Structure 1
Amino acid sequence: THREAMAWTNLGLALVEVRRFEEAIQAHTRARDFYQQAGDTHSEAMAWTNLGAALQEVRRFEEAIQAHTRARDLYQQAGDTHREAMAWNNLGLALVEVRRFEEAIQALTRAREAFHQVDDTHREASAWTNLGLALGGVGRFEEAVEAFSRDLAYCRQVGDGHGEAQTLGNVAAALVEVGRVGEAVQGLVRAVELFEAAGDDHWAAQAREFLDELRQSPGTGQEG
């Protein structure tokens, strides 16, 4: 039973890779059931995580929230702080999708703290950005800028130019909301440079479009 559960998990992961999400949901559900039957709580938690991710891909967010909540609870039981942090992060992102921002802020704050506790600086930085998105959802834009800035510092520290460019876009959007348009423009200029350096023409074009909008808006002093 345990090895059959592992096979269902591998099948589900492969189906996700080729975007056959409904079949992946069925496979991960079977894996979860078999791990339950085998009494393997930790693997069951991973199956819930995989199921939640597949459900999010088909925008079944309420079911995904339930799956990530179950994964979080099982990881808590198992004493796996690192994977519990991942579950909090996944839960927070799913909550953002259904605009339950206050709950998302709580979940992502827990994720950030747990990642810090286990010294996973990469995921901690990612959790800061996710937290920034949730804070923006309730109009707490100054706090969102601070959250994004934490991820920005990490990206610069490790030399992740593409990640820095993405975060600069988030920072710019929050800065505009608090009237700091000049700073937003400066950040987007840098974002365009970094996306171009990374060869990401799609996101370079997106950042350039946002930059042009800001330069043409009244009061920026950036026309032309």
Structure 2
Amino acid sequence: MQLSEQELVRREKLEKLRGLGINPYPADLFPVNHTSKQIKSEFEEGKKVIIAGRLMSRRIQGSASFAELQDGEGRIQVYFNRDEICTGDDKSKYNDVYKKLLDIGDFIGVKGELFKTKVGEKTVMVKDFTLLSKALKPLPQPRVDADGKVHDAFTDPEQRYRQRYADLVVNPHVKDVFVKRTKLFNAMRQFFNDAGYFEVETPILQPIPGGAAARPFVTHHNSLDIPL
């Protein structure tokens, strides 16, 4: 498989991170105490929070940077300041790890304090961050211009169904369908459970034909290279 230029660059960054003693595969346990939704609904200036999610955007301006973190509940703005993160003389965690070795799509954990920007945006002031998983493939990133028009949207049906993981990341509304579907099936199961029914599994692909009077068919499992 031929890798794209971006994928090669991300792999080079991964090796540099490992050279610094950072290995996100698998990352250490990173317990969180807030989600993006909780931060916005229970906002309190100066409150300490621990959150985690994907880095979805960032605007680096020298020793400071605003970024967006996306977790399972939505997005929250985070503010990186070199002197807040690197309180001593060594500024490499901001200058090297954050600015040079992180990419859009990486999973990070953040410890910080809540504050509001001059325009009233609820934001997390980052005191420390941890790389939790390095994204080796770039995400399809839609762009929104000043007029609110979306460009390069991830809308191709073939790509969306083949790359459902990317679809869920960049098109948050897709998750609503999964949530509603799960609630619907849970309600149906509960209805039948309360009525005394039992749910049984009816496998479709198996090595020994079954199914009572149904006429079996033969197919091939490509990954396992076996007939089923």
- Normalising by the residue count of structure 2, what TM-score does the alignment of the two structures yield? 0.26
Higher strand share: 2
Q: Which has the higher Rg, Structure 1 or Structure 2?
A: 2
Which has the larger helix fraction? Answer: 1
Q: TM-score under structure 1 normalisation?
A: 0.26
